[in-house]
């Protein structure tokens, strides 16, 4: 990687690491880990969601989304899990916005 780009990437990573979004994500993850059973449920939901989106067909996604949604709704009723899920969602939105801003400024032929 070009040295100038590498330096800018390092600055961006530092900005993200020192952001309130990331601090909240880390704090809620730390709290969630104090309840191993709840932590495992959240991690299982995250893994199942990722696996279905990465490996599933559209039919699979529709078929399996109901069970994922039910578990997500159940976890939202748990304050510690809900705090983590909200923090994670906000961090993901931030990372997507960074990605979209970069791609939106470059002409690299993406649709």
Q: What is the pLDDT along the chain (111 residues), one digit of tens a residue?
A: 899 999 999 999 999 999 999 999 999 999 999 999 999 999 999 998 888 878 765 555 566 688 889 999 999 999 999 999 999 999 999 999 999 999 888 888 756
Between the CA atoms of 42, 82, 19 and 27, what dihedral angle is there, to the nearest 10 degrees? -70
> Do 52 and 61 contact (CB within 8 A), yes or no?
yes
28 token code pair: 């809620």
71 token code pair: 């578990």
Query: Which residues touch 98 (CB under 8 Å, ≥6 apart)?
Result: 12, 16
CA distance to 13, 97, 107, per residue, from 80 (Å): 27, 26, 42
């Amino acid at each position: 990687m070009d040295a100038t780009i590498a330096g800018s990437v390092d600055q961006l990573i530092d900005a993200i690491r020192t952001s309130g979004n990331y601090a909240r994500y880390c704090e809620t993850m730390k709290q969630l880990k104090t309840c191993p059973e709840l932590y495992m449920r959240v991690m299982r939901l995250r893994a199942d969601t990722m696996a279905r989106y990465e490996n599933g067909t559209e039919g699979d996604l529709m078929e399996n989304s109901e069970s994922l949604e039910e578990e997500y709704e159940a976890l939202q009723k748990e304050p510690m899990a809900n705090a983590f899920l909200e923090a994670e969602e906000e961090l993901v939105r931030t990372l997507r916005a960074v990605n979209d801003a970069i791609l939106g400024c470059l002409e690299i032929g993406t649709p």
